[in-house]
Amino acid sequence: MAYCNESHIDDVFNSQNIDQAIDDNADGTANSGLVTNLIDDASHEVWSYVKPHYSSLDPEDVTDPTSKTQVPVAVRNATAVLAAEMILTRQGKRVPERLATRIEYLRDKWLPGVAAGLFTVDATTTRTAKSTTDDVRRTMRDQGALSEYGETDPGDGESSDNDFFTENSGDN
**Residue-range domain boundaries for the chain:** 6-115, 134-171
Which has the higher per-residue pLDDT, 156 or 136? 136
Rounded Cα distance, 87 and 97, in Å: 15
The pLDDT of residue 127 is above 50: yes
Q: Which of 72, 73, 103 is nearest to 89 (CA)?
A: 103
Rounded Cα distance, 133 and 35, in Å: 36
Per-residue DSSP letter, 164: G
Q: Which of 115, 112, 109 is nearest to 127 (CA)?
A: 115
Please report the pLDDT score of residue 67 as a whole number: 93
Pick from 3-7, 19-23, 82-86, 99-103: least confident: 19-23
> Does the predicted TM-score (pTM) go above 0.85?
no
Which has the higher per-residue pLDDT, 158 or 57? 57
Q: What is the mean pLDDT of the chain?
A: 79
